[in-house]
Amino acid sequence: MKAVDAVIIGYGWTGAIMAKELTDAGLSVLVLERGPARDTSPDFEYPRIADELKHAVRGDLWHPLARETFTIRHKRGDTAVPYRQYGTIVLGTGTGGAGAHWNGQQWRASPNDLRLRSAYEERYGKKFIPSDMTIQDYGISFEELEPHFDHFEKVGGVAGSAGNLRGKLVDGGNPFEGARSSPYPNRPMAPILSSQLFAKAARELGYQPFPVPAANSTSAYTNPYGVRMGPCNLCGFCEGFGCFLYSKASPQTTILPVLKGRANLEVRHNAYVTRILLDGGGKLATGVRYVDANGREVDQPAALVVLAAFQLNNVRMLLLSGIGQPYDPVSGKGTVGKNYAYQMVSSTSAFFGQEVHMNPFVGAGAAGQQAIDEFNADHFDHARMGFVGGAMIFAGATGGRPIVQMPLPPDAPQWGSGWKSAVRRHYAHSSSVATMGSVMAYRDRYLDLDPTYRDAHGLPLLRMTFDWHPNEYRMTAFASERAGEIVRAMRPQRVSQHVLRPGDSYDTRVYQSSHTTGGAIIGSDPSNSVLNRYSQCWDVPNVFVFGASSFPQNIGYNPTGLVGALTYFAAAKIRSSYLKSGGPLVQA
């Protein structure tokens, strides 16, 4: 094919951001997306998008696992087996990627999340961090990222309440957040009843609840690109669904409209990239190879390669392409595949009397939710806790869809007339409080290529080696106890809790979040990371990698806000320096 200035692999959030930034800079850009073309109209039109069975259960917008998946094992020496049925995480595909059907909780990282190892060593001493815990600093400060957090929030029309505005604490917001340069672009969503009860109970216990930042516009809004968004009507169909009201921030509702018709941008769908092509010395990318919709193998030359796929797919692409040294957990050498992490989530359900009407069908992915952040990151004294990290605790419905969103007491029948009776009794009179816990990186938790299983094109699948560590069991026990105290203060008739405890192995059948991280991490040195602070490959400087694959460990928030900020931060440096000189970008 004819050479282009830049080729982008994937058309989700990071791919859309980079397509905008690079075409603005005048480059000829080609986007290769493995899935189909999708837009608000006709793909997300009402009423057919509001089909829970089709989308939230059968995953019509998700990537088909029969063509490509990954394998999982708990520890080295085990035989990994393929992830064949959706449970633990969901993989997006098509225009918008998972950003088309995410929940929309858009958090910033805490300042000490970005320098985690340094922060803990300075406060508690080096011995506080277990020897097998391989956590690292990002090499980027919160202050450097703040303008890019701010811009991404304005692009998405995020609704929220500032807690730290230019260093001054503001009532009603998150008092633990880093200093913001400006307020959220939209007022926060009004709290639904479950969130009101949570906030009241949290305040009675001395905590400071605040609205969860929601990438759901609460008013008619025009973003910095001139794209208009409509107000959310709390339809309850966010997670697993595209938004038919142009209210939930997604590539389709925020960025892609301004890219349509650009002469220097081409998008090819159903293009399955199989590798990044390198020159004879392996130090420069010359383009990519992909399989098109007709099954033909195509080589696409490009001067710049942007890897903007899902976290797992980013790592697999680097391994398949021979970029960087694969991580070896025995020697601890190598970087590609290092520091894989997931999240540990717990839930506490509250069951109220018939006089308390929750109206769970009124909701959105982050609609009216309230949270406390006292026990996240290093916002509290860990000295006697015996664990690193923490969790954000939040309440509120993401919808009231009757197939998969029906919390029932643990003694309720699982099927038949007894189950139906329990659903009638509790559906409209229950709520849930969740903890979103961080997970640290460890020497024995990593990603590599599976020696046995292959995809539909004969390429090795990615293999995940992962299970929980004692640190996370202690973290979730502590956070869940705090959540339970708040729920009991809400005064329900009954309470039930689901918390992972020592002996509970990682279970791929149970969904917690799709927040997987690591494997192509950012760092300050080629010996401990795949990427420099500008998301540029140390080994192949004309390859940039964007997504949660760059996180050195997982945080106690949803990752999208940090993913977007890191992408905009790198894009600014690419435009100001790399496109002028090429080659490795300096750290400063």
DSSP 69-95: -EEEESSTTSPPEE--S--S---B-ST
Rounded distance between C-alpha atoms, residue 33 and residue 268, angstroms:
6
Is the CB of residue 584 less than 8 Å from the CB of residue 536? yes
Is the CB of residue 430 less than 8 Å from the CB of residue 421? no
291's enclosing H/E stretch is: strand 285-291
Rounded distance between C-alpha atoms, residue 155 and residue 559, angstroms:
17
Rounded distance between C-alpha atoms, residue 92 and residue 240, angstroms:
9
- R_g over Cα of the chain: 23
What is the pLDDT, as a whole number, of residue 566? 98
Q: Residue 9 carries which DSSP code?
A: E
Question: C-alpha 20: how far from its chain's center?
Answer: 21
What is the pLDDT, as a whole number, of residue 588? 41
Task: Report the DSSP beta bridge partners of residue 250.
Answer: none
Q: Residue 511 carries which DSSP code?
A: -
- The secondary structure of 513-533 as a DSSP string is -S--B-SS-B-SSTTT-SB-T
Amino acid (1-letter code) at residue 361: F
DSSP 3-state of 576: helix
- CA quadruple 62, 65, 69, 75: dihedral sign: positive
Amino acid (1-letter code) at residue 9: I
What is the pLDDT, as a whole number, of residue 585? 74
What is the pLDDT, as a whole number, of residue 565? 98
Scanning the structure block, which residue is given the tokens 């959220």? 184
Amino acid (1-letter code) at residue 532: N
β-strands 4-9, 297-307: how paired? parallel
Is the CB of residue 93 less than 8 Å from the CB of residue 62? yes
Token pair recorded at residue 362: 């009124």
Rounded distance between C-alpha atoms, residue 71 and residue 450, angstroms:
7
Is the CB of residue 218 less than 8 Å from the CB of residue 127? no
| Nearest Cα to Cα of residue 470 among 384, 344, 329, 555 | 344
Question: C-alpha 358: how far from its chain's center?
Answer: 28
- Kindly tell me the burial class for residue 291, based on how many C-beta atoms sit within 10 Å of its own C-beta (0-12, 13-18, 19 or more): middle
Is the CB of residue 171 less than 8 Å from the CB of residue 369? no
Beta strands in 353-512 (DSSP E): 370-372, 391-395, 430-437, 446-454, 460-465, 494-498
Rounded distance between C-alpha atoms, residue 585 and residue 588, angstroms:
9
Is the CB of residue 439 less than 8 Å from the CB of residue 389? yes
Is the CB of residue 29 less than 8 Å from the CB of residue 264? yes
Rounded distance between C-alpha atoms, residue 45 and residue 48, angstroms:
6
Using 50 as the pLDDT threshold, list the residues of the chain that sit under it.
Answer: 588
The pLDDT tens digits of the residues spanning 114-173 come to 999 999 999 999 999 999 999 999 999 999 999 999 999 999 999 999 999 999 999 999
Rounded distance between C-alpha atoms, residue 425 and residue 414, angstroms:
14
Rounded distance between C-alpha atoms, residue 109 and residue 565, angstroms:
10
| Nearest Cα to Cα of residue 286 among 26, 561, 540 | 540
DSSP 3-state of 277: strand
Find all residues with CB under 8 Å of 170, minimum gap 6, and list them. Answer: 161, 162, 163, 164
Scanning the structure block, which residue is given the tokens 């692999």? 9
Is the CB of residue 431 less than 8 Å from the CB of residue 397? yes
**151, 382, 426, 515: which one is catalytic?**
515
Rounded distance between C-alpha atoms, residue 85 and residue 91, angstroms:
11
Rounded distance between C-alpha atoms, residue 258 and residue 117, angstroms:
40
User: Is 74 among the residues known to form the active site?
Assistant: no
Rounded distance between C-alpha atoms, residue 245 and residue 41, angstroms:
10
- The secondary structure of 217-246 as a DSSP string is -SS-EE-TTS-EEPPP--BS--TTS--TTS
